[in-house]
Amino acid sequence: MENLELQEIIEGCIEGKRKYQYQFYQLFAGKMMGVCLRYAQNQAEAEDILQDGFVKVFSNMHKYQPFGSFEGWVRRIFVNTAIEYYRQRRKFMINDIELENQDFEFNDDVVDRLAAEEILALIKGMPDGYRMVFNMYAIEGYSHKEIAEELGISIGTSKSQYSRARTHLQKLMANIEKKTTKSLAQYE
């Protein structure tokens, strides 16, 4: 889509014209649903976040300053909406799972073999605290200080939750690798 077309759609949305709002929705819904799914526990929650995000985008579109990426601005609203959703509907639970003091050999090839849907499923299966911090730090690029401020936790807790999330993912991926290797060995 050319910038002129996007600019026309944005102006139509600012004026509250449904036709342009629908076009805007069609343009961004798929990408933003991907963002919402990473933060949500399930499809229904992601759809709620998506709807709230679009309401906020339409309400604030007149505030957009054309510096940087418009899509980045929209994405930031959806991430903030997901964080807000999380804060309002869930208590931030620090998972006190004792981590075993063992080193995991982690093979990066496992990540290459996993499909995007499988990785998304692994992330969605994380405990809430792990998932939020992992998404914000590893995917969205927030600093631990920013995460701490957004979620109302300490920087140390953010770092700890991220470390635990990585360890959790590594364990899951190691299990997948073991199962895959075991299954392939059957056929040899």
Taking CA atoms, 31 is separated from 47, 55, 155, 163, in Å, by: 13, 16, 30, 27
Q: Sort 145 into a burial class: Cβ within 10 Å, 0-12 / 13-18 / 19+.
A: exposed
- Number of CB atoms found within 10 A of residue 185's CB: 8
In a 3-state reduction of DSSP, which class is residue 57? helix
Q: Please tell me the predicted confidence (pLDDT) of residue 18.
A: 93
What is the pTM assigned to this prediction? 0.62
Cα–Cα distance measured from residue 38 to residue 138, given in angstroms and rounded to the nearest whole number = 12
> Which residue's entry shows tokens 């933003």?
32
- Please name the amino acid found at residue 66: P
Q: Please tell me the predicted confidence (pLDDT) of residue 139.
A: 85
Q: Please tell me the predicted confidence (pLDDT) of residue 123.
A: 82
What is the DSSP secondary structure assignment for residue 88, as one 8-state letter? H
> Which residue's entry shows tokens 């600019």?
7
- For the chain, give the number of residues: 188
Q: Would you list the domain boundaries of the chain?
A: 3-89, 108-186
Structure tokens at 128: 């809430």
In a 3-state reduction of DSSP, which class is residue 122? helix
Domains 3-89 and 108-186 share a fold: no
Nearest to residue 57, comparing CAs of 35, 82, 40, 78? 78
Assigned CATH for 108-186: 1.10.10.10
Q: Please tell me the predicted confidence (pLDDT) of residue 107.
A: 44
pLDDT truncated to tens, each residue of the chain (188 aa)? 556 688 899 999 999 999 999 999 999 999 999 999 988 888 888 999 999 999 999 999 999 887 888 999 999 999 999 988 888 765 544 333 333 333 334 444 444 555 667 777 788 888 888 888 998 998 888 999 999 888 888 898 889 989 998 888 888 877 777 776 665 555 55
Q: Which CATH architecture has domain 3-89?
A: Orthogonal Bundle (1.10)
In a 3-state reduction of DSSP, which class is residue 176? helix
Q: Please tell me the predicted confidence (pLDDT) of residue 114.
A: 56
Nearest to residue 86, comparing CAs of 54, 17, 134? 134
Q: Please tell me the predicted confidence (pLDDT) of residue 104.
A: 39
Residue 20 phi/psi, 5° resolution? -75, -35
Structure tokens at 156: 């140390």
- Number of CB atoms found within 10 A of residue 7's CB: 12
